[in-house]
Amino acid sequence: MSAVSTSINEDKRVEEDADTTNTPPSDPVRSASLWLEDGNIILQAEGKQFKVYRGLLSLQSTVFNDMFSVPQPSVGENLVEGCSVVHLSDASADLEFALEAIFLRQWVAVIDSIPIEVVCAFLRLGNKYEIEALRAEALKRLFFEFPSDILAFNKIWDTDARGTAIQADSWTLIDVANLAREHNLLSVLPTAFYWCCREWSVAELEEGQRREDGTTSTLSPVNERACFRAYFELSKLKERTWAWTLATKSADGCENKKGCSTERAQTMCFHLHPPSVGGCLQEWEERFTKGLCLSCTAVAKKLQNQGQEQAWDALPSAFGLPNWEELIKDRVPSAWYVIMLASNVILSFNMLNNLQI
């Protein structure tokens, strides 16, 4: 390269650097709904400001209470409408969801489903700033949607209650799995992973799900590996659940051996031959009795329910996780849980009752 061209390129870089340096920062944007006229503290995240009440925030958050209790130097401080500005590293959307809950009673005072984005914000900021009400709300909804015992799972399945605590958008399952891993809520992962594998193929999971804002939700690398390795294991668990369809002999006292044998074969073809892992945790339903005599029905029902329980017990290991006994330690009652237990029960009953109306 010639000296002339080098000089031109260097001059161009200097001009570009100067343009970047001289670009004035954009003014912060004020929140339309959370700019309280008599507020006395301003929180700023990603260029968005929220004017709220310092005292109420301190009551909700031990971290903010400690932060505000430390005297701040007043010399050189830039005030906005006479209020100090606290700069936070959080996403402005997360902060807005949290402040809406604290000051406007949004999201936490409803029994309807809320977006996964709100749940994520509650858990992240609830943990970071020790806002127990937000953390408890997030856990309450996560634990309802992704239970750790087979009876609760069957209840949700029987009443089609999925999506009644957290909106069931196409990207919700992936975001839940990533959130649970991020915050070490391992008891949420088995059912979240199971639904991911049930809903999508390996290729579809790898591609991810597009959100409404145009971004794509994809599993974190560790979660992706857990799901990919589980497809084969889940197919084996599915065979265990439907083992009665593989029986070559009818039950003792069978009244129609040929008919029952044909029905078992047809059921096997319908439920076991598709490559999907769906049906791995299928409990017995009366519709399966079609074509079976009473004796074969009794045996099939017993084996189906036993197989489902065995598949449930083995579900965590399919994803490389500890057993249920170890996983549920993150659901052991603590101070926040005792406080929220009553509202959790009310939420569950209201959700299930609404489905039955």
Q: What is the pLDDT of residue 277?
A: 86
Residue 120 near residue 84, CB atoms below 8 Å: no
Q: What is the pLDDT of residue 23?
A: 54
Q: What is the pLDDT of residue 334?
A: 52
> Which H or E element spans position 137?
helix 132-145
d(CA 162, CA 266): 29
Write the pLDDT tens digit of every residue in 204-255. Answer: 999 999 999 899 999 999 999 999 999 999 999 999 999 999 888 889 989 8
Residuewise pLDDT in 10s, the chain (357 residues): 444 444 444 444 444 454 445 555 678 899 999 999 999 999 999 999 999 999 999 999 999 999 988 876 665 568 888 889 999 999 999 999 999 999 998 887 667 889 999 999 999 999 999 999 999 999 999 999 999 999 999 998 877 777 789 998 999 999 999 999 999 999 999 999 999 999 999 999 999 999 998 999 999 999 999 999 999 999 999 999 999 998 888 899 898 999 999 999 998 888 887 777 888 999 998 888 788 999 999 999 999 999 999 999 999 999 999 999 999 998 876 544 444 444 444 444 444 444 443
Give whole-number Cα distances, 245 to 115, 163, 303, 307, in Å. 40, 32, 10, 12
Q: What is the pLDDT of residue 72?
A: 67
- Beta strands 41-45 and 85-88 are parallel
Residue 125: CA count within 13 A, CB half-sphere: 29
Q: What is the pLDDT of residue 6?
A: 41
Helices (H), 244-288: 257-271
Q: Is 78 helix (H, G, I), strand (E, B) or coil?
A: coil
Q: What is the pLDDT of residue 24?
A: 56
d(CA 243, CA 53): 61
Question: Side by side, which strands form the sheet with 48-52?
Answer: 29-35, 48-52, 41-45, 85-88
d(CA 192, CA 263): 33
Residues in CB range of 130: below 8 A, 6 or more apart: 61, 62, 63
Q: Number of helices (H) and strands (E), helices first, in the chain?
A: 15, 6
Which tokens in the block code for residue 117? Answer: 């984005």
Q: What is the pLDDT of residue 78?
A: 80
| DSSP state letter for 34 | E
- Beta strands 48-52 and 29-35 are parallel
| DSSP state letter for 265 | H
Residue 242 near residue 272, CB atoms below 8 Å: yes
Q: What is the pLDDT of residue 2?
A: 46
> Which H or E element spans position 285?
none
Range 73-80 contact pairs with CB under 8 angstroms and sequence separation of 24 or more: 80/42, 80/49, 80/51
Give phi and psi for 332, each to the nearest 5: -65, 130
Q: What is the pLDDT of residue 349?
A: 41
pTM (predicted TM-score): 0.82
- Beta strands 216-217 and 85-88 are unpaired
Q: What is the pLDDT of residue 333?
A: 66
Q: What is the pLDDT of residue 343?
A: 47
Residue 117 near residue 97, CB atoms below 8 Å: yes
Give phi and psi for 45, each to the nearest 5: -140, 130
Residue 132 near residue 336, CB atoms below 8 Å: yes
Which tokens in the block code for residue 353? Answer: 């009752």
**Angle of the 189-199 helix axis to the 221-241 helix axis, nearest 10:** 80
Residue 337 near residue 136, CB atoms below 8 Å: yes
| DSSP state letter for 247 | -
